[in-house]
Amino acid sequence: MNSESEFIYWHLLACDNCSTGILALQMLNGQAGGLSFEEANATQLSNGKHVVLLRCAAHVGNLFLQDYCREWNVWGQIHTIASQFKIRAVMCPTRWTSCLRAANKIRQRVPPGSNLATDIEIVRLVTKYIQLIEGDNADAYVLFVQMNALKAALREMNNTRSKSMLGFIETRETEYHTTHDKLGQFLLNLDPKNPDIDYDSFRICCNTIGSKFSRPIPSTTALYQELISIDLAQEADAYLKTSPNGKTDYINYLSNVWHKNPVIRDILSIVRALTINSASLERLFSFFHRTTASFLRKNMQYQTLIKIGLIYTEIILPEVKKWKQQQLINKFVEKRKRMTLEDELDALNEV
């Protein structure tokens, strides 16, 4: 294992595109998710920390499919055809592979030239696009080339359905690229060693991220001044030279530094400020999933990986868990109230 993948291993973050040799146990979905490592590495993760798995670029294609299939009720139509011909063809809205399998199974049973035939060809077209950009193939250039090829193929179809899918793609494309770039720039501006850091761009990024969730990010001036005044790398290098256990201690040291440093606490407070209520929490959670994909590449700065990992593990996951627990408590309380009211009514009826 090279030092780069080892660093990602240890610092709680992985993506479909940089997780070669790692088997995903479950996607992150409001609960503490984890990855299964090879046996040799299992003991190294015995500290109980989870590795967060983020969506890769291929999942953006899945969002195209979900938008389109929901708009034209493709799932319902395929289910109807499959039932009519007794074909087992199930489309799962979160599994693009099931869409492709279902489309292939009923393709010959659908009247040529019908809207459903067009729907199936579009499903096949988009899923093939996803195959071309998933996993190790998903870099910025491949994504750009295949996206243009997909849009060109849809334009050639030149019908209402293909124009509809083009609209969904362009909407998601704008959201994916522009918002993603702003978040990426925001995170890079949190790195004191970034030579291009300047207050204006930092302030603009803060305002952009804050406005997306209708929550202003406070004290950007003070946060920026503190960011440019520290040199954690120098502290870490000094620590490493005196460490008896070398890299292992260095990794533990970095985790502690980023957690305890007041600047990182400010960063985490930004995220906390954005998660005031359950609605914005869900949006933020989904937002991080959608927009951090292509940022998790081999050229990503290690410090930024740590920051995103800490935001997830220290803020997002606990907040989601706390919110979901509160929901369960509220449901239980409401149930008890209803039961009490029913008991009182029964008592009155008996009288």
Best CA proximity match to 134, nearest among 61, 36, 26, 52? 61
Tell me which residue of 173, 136, 135, 176 sits closest to 151, measured CA to CA: 173
Q: Name the residue ranges covered by the structural domains of the chain.
A: 58-133+139-180
pLDDT of residue 281: 42
Digitized pLDDT (tens) for each residue of the chain, 351 residues in all: 222 222 222 222 333 333 332 322 232 222 333 333 332 233 333 333 333 333 445 556 777 787 888 888 887 888 788 888 888 777 665 566 677 777 888 888 888 888 888 988 898 888 888 777 665 444 445 666 788 899 999 999 989 999 999 998 887 666 555 444 444 455 455 554 555 556 666 667 667 666 655 555 555 566 555 555 555 455 555 555 565 554 445 445 544 554 455 544 544 444 444 444 444 444 444 444 444 433 333 333 444 444 554 555 555 555 555 665 676 777 777 777 776 666 666 655 654
pLDDT attached to residue 124: 86
> Which pLDDT score, from 0 to 100, does residue 58 have?
55
